[in-house]
Amino acid sequence: MKRFFIVLNVLAAGLAAQTFTPTNPAALAARGWREHHERAIVDEFVALLAIPDIAADRANIQRNAETIAAMLEKRGIAAKLVSVPEGNPVVFGEIRTPGATRTIVFYAHYDGQPLDPKEWATPPFTPTLRDKQLERDGQVIPLPPPGQPFDPEWRLYARAAADDKAPIIAMLAAVDAIRTAGLNTKSNIKFAFEGEEEAGSPNLAKTLAANKQLFAGDLWLVCDGPLHRTRRQLIQFGGRGIVQVDITVLGPRGELHSGHYGNWAPNPAFLLAKLLASMKDDNGHVLVEHFYDDIEPLSAIEKRAVADAPDIDPQLMREFWLGSTEGGGKKLSELITLPSLNIRGMASSRVGNQASNVIPASATASLDVRLVKGMDPQKTANLVIDHIRKQGFFVVDREPGAAVRMAHPKVAIVVSGKGEPAVRTPMDLPISQEVIRVVESARGPAVKIPNSGGTGPDVAGRVLGMPSIGIPIGNHDNNQHSYNENLRLQNLWDGIELMAALLTM
Ligand SMILES: [Zn+2]
C-alpha cells in the first residue's frame, strides 16, 4: 500500500509544485483575507464536520441543514430548508444583486458516504488535523493558536471533509472575503446544498421540480469531487450516462455430473463466455452493431481540450500494475469521451475449494454500458439484446418454463435497467467560455474535460433546463467514499480563491 501512495505523491509534487498568483481581483483579495483568518475558517469547518451526516440519519441531517442555514443567515444571506415528503432538506440561500441579468446556482452536498467507524484511524466525526497524509505517517497535531499560520500541506481528517463539505466552507469564506474587500457580485447567486447525494439523490429532481422558480437560473455549478491527479484545477462539462444489462444463459434444469454428461449437455458458462467474447475486439472496440451510430461528435474546442489533457497514462499503469491498455493507443482522457461496454461481474456454479465436477445450470454476467452524448439508454440496451439474438439465443425477460427451454437450443434471460443518459454542456457556449476564463484567472491553466467517466443525474438540465459545469476543489488523494477521508488545507485555500472568482463573475 505504501508504494501506491508514494507513486501518487511524486506525481502530484512534480507537476503542481508551482503556485499560481491569481490575476482575478476577487481571488487575490480572498488570498489576503484568508491569510488573516485561517483559524476562524478551520473552526467553522471543524464545527460542521463534527455533525454526523449520513443521509439515513435523519435527526443529524436536520442538524446539519439547520447549521448551514444559520451559517448563511449569519452572513445576511436569506436561507431556507426545502424538501419533499421523505426527502432530506436542500439548504437554499440567495444573494440578490441589483441590476443583475443572470443567476448562477452553486451546488454542493452536505451528506457523506456511509462508513464503519472501526476502519478509521480517528473517529470520523471528530475532525482531526494531521501534519501530513496518514499513509505517509502523518501524526495527529493540535490546531495552531489563533494568529499562527497553518501549514498548507496539513490535512483535516473527517467524513465529508473533502466530499463535500469543503466547497460549502469555501463558498462562505469567499463571501466574507469579497465583502471585506468591497467587491460586489455581478450575478444573482443561489446556493443549493443537498443532503442525500451519497444515497443516490433519490429526491433531488422531485425537490427541484416542486420548486422550479426558487432554483431557476442560468448556470448550475456542481462543486463536488476531486481535482485532477496532477493537482491542476479541473473543469468538467458533463458525465457519461449508464445502462445496465444482466444476462443469464440457461443450461440444464439442474446441475449435471460432468463425467456422465460432459460433452453431451451444453455448458452455459461456455455459451456465455463465447457470447461475451463476441461483443468486443482485442482493442476494446465494441462489436455490437450500430453501437456507435448516435454519438454526437466532439466539437473542435472539445477535441483540443482532450488532446491538451495531461498524459498520466504511464503513471496510472504503474500504479494499477497494468501491462497493457485498451483503445488501440488512445489516451484515457480520449477514451472516456467514448462509450464503454464492461462486464461488472460474472458467476456460474462455484470455484476454488467449493468447485465441484458439474455442468452448471446457468451462467450470469452483469454488464454496464457507459453512454456518451447522443446515445439513448434504452435504445443502447436493445442493441445489446439484438446482438445476443444474432448469436443464436432465444431471449426472454423472466425465468422461462420447460416448453420454451426445450424449444430453443440457446436461451438467455436478459434484463436491462432504465439507465441514465449522458450530459455534456458544450464548451463553446459563451457561459462555458466565461467560466473557463474566470477559473483560469484564479487557478491557472485548468484541465478541461468534455465529460467525466462517471455518471450523475442531470437534474439541472432535465428539471431546470440550464447548463451545468463541474468545478471540484478536493485533493485527488482524499480517500473519499472510503475510511480516513481527508482534505489537504491548500485545497481549501485554493477553493476559497476559486469561489471568490466565480461568485463575482
Ligand atoms: Zn460528492
**324: in domain:** no
Contact in structure between 111 and 197 (CB atoms under 8 Å): yes
Three-state SS at 501: helix
Report the DSSP pairing between strands 411-416 and 394-396.
Answer: parallel
Average pLDDT value for residue range 211-239: 96
Confidence grade of residue 146 (pLDDT, cut at 50, 70, 90): confident
Q: 438, 442, 447: which is closest to 229 by C-alpha?
A: 447
Considering the domain architecture, whether residues 350 and 492 belong to the same structural domain is answered as no
Residue 236 in this model has a pLDDT that exceeds 70: yes
Considering the domain architecture, whether residues 273 and 399 belong to the same structural domain is answered as yes
C-alpha 360 to ligand 1 mean position (Å)? 41
C-alpha 171 to ligand 1 mean position (Å)? 16
- For 380-397, write each residue's pLDDT tens digit: 999 999 999 999 999 999
Residue 89 in this model has a pLDDT that exceeds 80: yes
> How many distinct structural domains can be found in the chain?
2
**316: in domain:** no
HSE-CB for 72 with a 13 A CA cutoff:
22
- CA–CA gap between residue 334 and residue 209 (Å, rounded): 34
Which domain, by its residues, includes 195? 2-239+422-503
C-alpha 248 to ligand 1 mean position (Å)? 34
C-alpha 173 to ligand 1 mean position (Å)? 20
Considering the domain architecture, whether residues 126 and 78 belong to the same structural domain is answered as yes
C-alpha 414 to ligand 1 mean position (Å)? 32
The least confident of 6-20, 232-246, 297-311, 454-468 is 6-20
Considering the domain architecture, whether residues 139 and 231 belong to the same structural domain is answered as yes
Considering the domain architecture, whether residues 266 and 160 belong to the same structural domain is answered as no
| Residue 4 confidence (pLDDT) | 38
From residue 68, how far is each of 47, 104, 180, 407, 493 by CA, in Å? 11, 19, 21, 63, 20
**81: in domain:** yes
Considering the domain architecture, whether residues 445 and 404 belong to the same structural domain is answered as no
Q: Which of the listed residues 416, 439, 458 is the one where a domain comes to its end?
A: 416
**326: in domain:** no
Confidence grade of residue 12 (pLDDT, cut at 50, 70, 90): very low
Omega before residue 294 within 30° of 0, cis: no
Q: Which of the listed residues 416, 451, 480 is the one where a domain comes to its end?
A: 416
Considering the domain architecture, whether residues 253 and 265 belong to the same structural domain is answered as yes
Residue found under cell 433531488: 204
Contact in structure between 499 and 168 (CB atoms under 8 Å): no
- CA–CA gap between residue 164 and residue 108 (Å, rounded): 6
Residue 79 in this model has a pLDDT that exceeds 90: yes
Residue 358 in this model has a pLDDT that exceeds 90: yes
Considering the domain architecture, whether residues 248 and 290 belong to the same structural domain is answered as yes
Average pLDDT value for residue range 398-414: 98
- CA–CA gap between residue 171 and residue 176 (Å, rounded): 9
* pTM, rounded to two decimals: 0.91
The helix (run of H) or strand (run of E) holding residue 447 is: strand 447-449
**327: in domain:** no
Residue 18 in this model has a pLDDT that exceeds 60: no
CATH number at residue 260: 3.30.70.360
Considering the domain architecture, whether residues 65 and 126 belong to the same structural domain is answered as yes
| Residue 147 confidence (pLDDT) | 85
**305: in domain:** no
C-alpha 148 to ligand 1 mean position (Å)? 31
Residue 5 in this model has a pLDDT that exceeds 50: no
| Residue 3 confidence (pLDDT) | 37
**104: in domain:** yes
Considering the domain architecture, whether residues 216 and 251 belong to the same structural domain is answered as no
CATH number at residue 466: 3.40.630.10
